[in-house]
Every structure is written in structure tokens, then in C-alpha cells.
């Protein structure tokens, strides 16, 4: 006897992922009266902030900016405790939002999506989970995050290691104690740089394996005073508006001069004034910081001077000084005591550019030069960014065409929101949008609002299908590349370029035109009746 087929649940909208984007999408779709379900692979809501719970995990955008702006009441009622929020505090906030807006019952947890196939004849999607449950939906929104699919180093032997292994993006829920242990950390991106100082406080011995030295600035985190918080809350509307129209989604004064036209003393004073203030101040001090190599080098050298000033051992300091990519072209980091950690006698740095990793052994980590015996290995080796989580799902559009096939040479999108040939499929902060080059909250809200407004517009016209045209998609993809090529970003081997994943096409995947310009463009499209989008009824 064959098992009865799983009944198909018919919904108006299906959202994949219950992080900050998926939850807000659920709220907006419900506001339109759409029967919506969110499928979430994790055992709880929170997305990035559910998974990334390594020691020291906190946001590098200020709490009062890294928060929803859609509800003035929510904004006023919620109190943050620190300038930069910890992962647990952000997770508490997300739960508060879900409670307040009654979102929990729209989310199905521990449900990983396996495939999404478009049915041309009906203009609807069939979405199948790994457990075999099926959904039939008109709208399909991938709120799968830009940094959700983690990766390990491409070296043999991980399964052979006899000690404990951790990945920063899949940290255990219970506390991990490194007291008395010999620990290896592989990777010095934002996650490694945040975790290393705290692991070093506990470990008997810590060896950091660095492939690329990164630029990091002190976070200067501090408790948020009641007064500072009240002041921001009073001016929240103006502040949010400034964020929405800014370049990176964080309001900073606009640069007016080239770094090369001011004298070195003045330039140094400028860098000193923004050092440790926020993530973007060093990049936005001058008009040409991110487009002119000589201008950029002035910022890079300023950071190197800081590193030399903190790290006692000159050789270690030089190894920590980034030299192989322009400042800002790999995501800069904010840290709390990262460089000073290397002054501890128990902390050692291994330069993988000189002695590459070759394998993980039963006892530890082997490079081309030596084997390092350790009890624990922490992989802070990052993600298959931007496209990894979409590639993990078998997505097929018109005529059964796989998204993987369409994106074989790199992602092509219209606005980072839609793909021609994949009607009613939307991505929140997809490749080709400002996403990872911005305060994600600003981009997430803008994208979700745009999607909800577009769907509402279609329904008002009596249409059910919205699809970007090939011409609009090509035009936007070319524009993203041209703007990227104008900058120094493509020079770096970064996850923005897909360079951290062997075999991934080398394409600059984010839009660096700025969130303000991007928003204005989207608003103009809506005002003009959505040129570049085809509307139809089924
Ligand atoms: O990952 P990463 P992440 N052998 O890719 C190294 C956001 N985030 O998890 O640079 C040896 O940046 C790799 O070396 P290289 C933020 O947007 C935000 O740290 O490829 N090393 C690199 O050093 C961030 O940018 C926050 O040469 C290998 C490291 O591992 C993004 O997430 C906190 C290797 C990976 O760094 C990703 O950050 C955390 C190999 N085979 C994350 N493979 C905040 O808000 C990789 N590496 C503060």
C-alpha cells in the first residue's frame, strides 16, 4: 500500500525564514489580509541572532539604529541597555516584537524548505519542506538572510579531530567553558575578532590562525544612559529619516573633500575624531576614501599605526596589519580589546599566508610548517554569503528553469528583489541590493515595505502575478556592476565577491550606490507605475 500523499496547504503567501526580515514580512502581509505562513529551519525565531551566539556576539550597528522603525510605539517602549546590543538582547527584542504583534502563530519552526517550484499554468508556487510537507502559495518571499549558510575551511580531517569543535554560526545554546584548555581559532573576520578576546580570557593557551589580517576599530561599547536614550527617542523620526536617506543607513556627516586635498595633520585629526565612534566614520570622512587607492591608503595606514601602538611585539603587530586589500573593501570590524589580546603570553598568532593550513589532525591543526596540538577548535570561517541559502533550495521558475542555472555566472537580479522568470518570488536584501553594505534594519524594512506595497498594488489592479522583465533585470545588474567597479571593493578577495567559496563566480554582489539612492529609485518606480515589472492575472 502506498502512503497517502501529504495534503497540500494552500496559502496566499509563504515566507522562508523567521529572522528580522521574515517576521516583518509576516506582519505586513497580514496587514494586507493575506493568509501567510513562515517556515523556519531553526527551533526558534531570530534568524542570524538565533544561530550566532558565540562569546562576544553583538551587533556592530548601534542598538537604537539596529531596530525596527515601523512602529513609533515599539520604538518608544523598548529600552536598550548598551550602545551595541549583545546577541541575547537582540533575541529578546525579536521575541518582544513577535509577542507584541502576535507573530508566533504564523511561524512553523524546525521546518527546512527543500524546494520551490513555479507552476506556470496557475501562476503559483509549490513549496516542499525536507519533511515532505507541501504548500501551494501565490507569493513566495525568501527572507533567508545574507549570512546564513556557514562554511568550514576547505581542508581535510575535520571529522578526525578528537577534541571539541565549534562553528561561530552554530554555537551551542549552553555555555561553553574554555577554562584550562588549549584552543585554536581559525578565522579573523567579524565573528573571530569578537570571540577571540573572550576565549583568550578563559583558555590556558589560544592559537589564532589568520589567513587575512582585517581592519578593526574599537567599539567603545558602553551602557546606554537614560538621558541619551530619551534624547534619541525624542528625535527618533528625524534620525530614522536621516538613516533612510544616507549612504550606509547610518546618519553621518556627508564628506565634501578629498582625503588628498587636506594636509596630513588635519587628516590625522579627522580620523582620530571618528576612530571608535561607529563602523562607517572612517569610510565616510572623505569623498574618495573608497574609490581612490591613495586616499584609501591614508585611512589604512592610520589603522595600522593604531595596531602598532597597541600590540607590544613588533612582528606580531606587522602580521596583524592588513596590507592585501584596501581599507573597507572587506567588511571592517568593531572589536573590544582584539589587538591587545595578542599581548597576552598565552595567545599566539599563526600567519597562514606564510604557512598555509594543510589539515586537521586527530590532535589539532597542521600548517605547512608545524602541527599545533589543541583541545578545542573554533571555526570562525564565515559563510557562503548572499547566495548560499538560496542555492541550498531547489528553486525553479518558469518552464522549470533552476535558479542555479540562471545564476551559474553569478547572481542577476532586478533591485536585488526579483529575478526575471521567477514570478512572485521576492528576496529580502538579495544580491544586487544595498543589504550587507548597510545597516541591515534600514534595508530590511525598505525591502519588506516595497514587496508588500507591490503585492498590494497588483491586487488593487486585479492582478496576481508580478514579474520583473529581463530588460529591467539586465539594466539593474549592469548598474550594480558599474557602480561597484567605480570603487575599490572588487579589488579585495572578500565574501562580497564570493572569493571565500572555491568555485563561486567572482562577482561583487552588493549595491554600493547607497541606501538613500536605492530607496529613491524604488519610490520613483512605484510612483511611475512600476516600469520594469510585468503585472498579469491568472
Ligand atoms: O566571516 P568572515 P565572519 N583557511 O568571512 C577565514 C557579519 N557579522 O563570520 O579573509 C583559513 O568575515 C577568513 O579568511 P579570508 C559581518 O557582515 C557581523 O567573521 O577569507 N582561514 C576570515 O578571516 C561579517 O563580515 C557581526 O582570507 C579561512 C574568516 O575565516 C560577516 O558576518 C559579527 C578559511 C571568516 O571571516 C561574516 O563574518 C559577526 C580557510 N580555508 C559577523 N576560510 C557584527 O555585527 C575562511 N577563513 C559585529
Q: Is there an atom of ligand 1 within 6 Å of 211 CB? A: yes
Whether 446 is in the pocket of ligand 1, judged by its Cβ within 6 Å, is no
Q: 147 CB under 6 A from ligand 1?
A: yes
Residue nearest to atom 24 of ligand 1 (CA): 190
Q: Which of 13, 314, 17 is nearest to 139 (CA)?
A: 13
The total of other beta-carbon atoms located within 10 Å of residue 119's CB is 14
Mean pLDDT of the 445-464 span: 98
Residue 3 pLDDT grade (very low, low, confident, very high; cuts 50, 70, 90): low
**Ligand 1 pocket residue status of 435, Cβ below 6 Å:** no
Going 58 to 59 to 65 to 68, the CA torsion angle's sign is: negative
Residue 49 pLDDT exceeds 80: yes
Helix (H, G, I), strand (E, B) or coil at 116: strand
Q: What is the mean pLDDT of residues 447-457?
A: 98
β-sheet bridge partners, residue 137: 11, 125
For 520-523, which contacts have Cβ atoms below 8 Å and span 24 or more sequence positions? 520/245, 521/415, 522/415, 522/446, 522/450
pLDDT (tens digit, 9 = 90+) per residue, 300-327?
A: 999 999 999 999 999 999 999 999 999 9
Burial 313-333 (b: 16+ CB within 10 A, else e): eeebbebbbbeebbbbbbbbb
**Which of 50, 158, 191 most suits a substitution to test ligand 1, by most atoms within 8 Å of the C-beta?**
191
What span, in angstroms and rounded, lies between the C-alpha atoms of 166 and 172? 8
Closest ligand 1 atom to 495 CA: 5
Q: Which residue's CA lies nearest to atom 45 of ligand 1? A: 59
Separation of alpha carbons 358 and 365, rounded Å? 8
Question: Which residues lie below 8 Å from residue 7, measured CB to CB, with a gap of 6+?
Answer: 134
Crossing angle for the helix pair 236-244 and 515-527, to the nearest 10 degrees: 90
Nearest CA to ligand 1 atom 16: 190
Residue 325 is placed in which grid cell?
Answer: 586589500
Q: How many whole angstroms from 462 Cα to the centroid of ligand 1? A: 46
Write out pLDDT tens, residues 457-509: 999 999 999 999 999 999 999 999 999 999 999 999 999 999 999 999 999 99
User: Which residue's CA is the nearest one to ligand 1's atom 36?
Assistant: 189
With a 6 A CB cut-off, is 332 part of the ligand 1 pocket? no
Cα 127 to ligand 1 centre (Å): 32
Residue 193 alpha carbon to ligand 1 centre in Å? 9
Q: Mean pLDDT of all residues in the chain? A: 97
Q: Is 380 in the pocket of ligand 1 (CB under 6 A)?
A: yes
Over residues 114-153, the pLDDT tens digits come to 999 999 999 999 999 999 999 999 999 999 999 999 999 9
Q: Is 208 in the pocket of ligand 1 (CB under 6 A)?
A: no
Tell me the per-residue pLDDT of 374-387, one tens digit each, with 9 for 90 and over. Answer: 999 999 999 999 99
User: Considering the entire predicted model, what is its pTM?
Assistant: 0.97
- The answer, yes or no, to whether residue 60 has pLDDT greater than 70, is yes
Reported as a single tens digit per residue, the pLDDT across 279-306 is 899 999 999 999 999 999 999 999 999 9
Q: What contacts 449, CB < 8 A, 6 or more positions away?
A: 28, 70
- pLDDT tens per residue across span 508-530: 999 999 999 999 999 999 999 99
Above pLDDT 70, what percent of the chain?
99
- pLDDT at 2 (0 to 100): 55
187 — phi, psi (to 5°)?
Answer: 115, 130
Residues linked to residue 323 through DSSP beta bridges, in sequence order: none
Give the pLDDT band of residue 7 (cuts 50, 70, 90).
Answer: confident
- Rounded CA-CA distance 479/481 in Å is 5
- Please give the distance, rounded to the nearest whole angstrom, from the Cα atom of residue 379 to the centre of ligand 1: 10
Between the alpha carbon of residue 502 and those of residues 14, 154, 430, 498, the distances in Å are 32, 8, 21, 8
Pocket test for ligand 1, best of 20, 47, 152, 187 (most atoms within 8 A of CB): 187
Distance in Å, CA 514 to ligand 1 centroid: 23
Q: Are 343 and 312 in contact (CB under 8 A)?
A: yes
The dihedrals phi and psi of 86, each to the nearest 5 degrees, come to -75, 165
Amino acid at each position: 500500500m502506498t502512503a497517502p500523499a501529504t495534503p497540500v496547504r494552500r496559502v496566499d503567501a509563504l515566507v522562508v525564514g523567521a529572522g528580522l526580515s521574515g517576521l516583518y514580512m509576516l506582519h505586513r502581509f497580514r496587514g494586507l489580509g493575506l493568509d501567510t505562513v513562515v517556515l523556519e529551519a531553526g527551533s526558534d525565531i531570530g534568524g542570524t541572532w538565533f544561530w550566532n551566539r558565540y562569546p562576544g556576539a553583538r551587533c556592530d550597528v548601534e542598538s537604537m539604529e539596529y531596530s525596527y522603525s515601523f512602529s513609533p510605539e515599539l520604538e518608544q517602549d523598548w529600552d536598550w541597555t548598551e550602545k551595541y546590543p549583545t546577541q541575547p538582547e537582540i533575541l529578546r527584542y525579536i521575541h518582544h516584537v513577535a509577542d507584541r504583534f502576535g507573530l508566533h502563530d504564523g511561524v512553523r519552526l524546525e521546518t527546512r524548505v527543500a524546494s520551490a517550484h513555479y507552476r506556470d499554468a496557475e501562476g503559483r508556487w509549490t513549496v516542499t519542506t525536507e519533511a515532505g510537507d507541501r504548500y501551494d502559495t501565490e507569493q513566495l518571499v525568501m527572507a533567508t538572510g545574507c549570512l546564513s549558510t556557514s562554511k568550514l575551511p576547505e581542508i581535510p580531517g575535520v571529522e578526525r579531530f578528537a577534541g571539541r569543535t565549534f562553528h561561530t554560526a552554530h554555537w551551542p545554546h549552553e555555555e561553553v567553558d574554555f577554562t584550562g584548555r588549549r584552543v585554536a581559532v581559525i578565522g579573523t573576520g567579524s565573528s573571530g575578532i569578537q570571540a577571540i578576546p573572550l576565549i583568550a580570557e578563559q583558555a590556558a593557551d589560544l592559537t589564532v590562525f589568520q589567513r587575512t589580517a582585517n581592519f578593526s576599530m574599537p567599539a567603545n561599547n558602553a551602557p546606554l544612559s537614560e538621558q541619551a536614550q530619551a534624547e534619541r527617542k525624542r528625535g527618533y523620526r528625524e534620525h530614522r529619516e536621516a538613516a533612510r536617506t544616507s549612504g550606509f543607513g547610518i546618519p553621518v556627516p556627508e564628506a565634501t573633500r578629498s582625503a588628498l586635498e587636506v594636509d596630513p595633520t588635519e587628516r590625522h585629526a579627522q580620523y582620530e575624531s571618528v576612530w571608535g565612534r561607529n563602523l562607517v566614520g572612517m569610510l565616510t570622512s572623505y569623498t574618495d576614501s573608497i574609490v581612490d587607492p591613495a586616499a584609501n591608503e591614508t585611512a589604512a595606514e592610520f589603522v595600522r599605526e593604531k595596531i602598532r601602538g597597541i600590540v607590544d611585539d613588533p612582528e606580531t603587530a606587522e602580521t596583524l596589519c592588513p596590507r592585501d586589500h584596501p581599507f573597507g573593501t572587506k567588511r571592517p570590524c568593531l572589536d573590544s580589546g582584539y589587538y591587545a589580546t595578542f599581548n597576552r603570553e598565552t595567545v599566539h598568532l599563526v600567519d597562514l599566508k606564510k604557512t598555509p593550513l594543510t589539515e586537521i589532525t586527530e590532535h589539532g591543526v597542521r600548517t605547512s610548517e608545524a602541527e599545533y596540538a589543541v583541545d578545542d577548535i573554533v571555526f570562525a570561517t564565515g559563510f557562503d554569503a548572499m547566495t548560499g541559502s538560496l542555492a541550498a533550495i531547489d528553486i525553479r521558475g518558469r518552464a522549470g528553469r533552476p535558479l542555479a542555472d540562471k545564476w551559474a555566472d553569478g547572481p542577476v537580479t532586478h533591485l536585488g528583489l526579483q529575478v526575471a522568470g521567477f514570478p512572485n518570488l521576492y528576496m529580502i536584501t538579495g544580491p544586487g541590493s544595498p543589504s550587507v553594505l548597510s545597516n541591515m534594519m534600514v534595508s530590511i524594512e525598505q525591502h519588506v515595505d516595497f514587496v508588500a506595497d507591490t503585492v498590494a498594488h497588483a491586487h488593487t489592479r486585479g492582478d496576481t502575478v508580478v514579474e520583473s522583465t529581463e530588460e529591467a533585470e539586465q539594466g539593474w545588474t549592469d548598474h550594480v556592476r558599474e557602480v561597484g567597479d567605480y570603487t575599490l571593493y572588487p579589488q579585495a578577495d572578500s565574501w562580497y565577491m564570493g572569493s571565500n567559496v572555491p568555485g563561486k563566480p567572482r562577482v561583487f554582489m552588493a549595491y554600493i550606490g547607497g541606501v538613500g539612492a536605492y530607496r529613491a529609485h524604488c519610490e520613483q518606480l512605484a510612483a511611475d507605475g512600476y516600469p520594469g515589472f510585468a503585472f498579469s492575472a491568472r
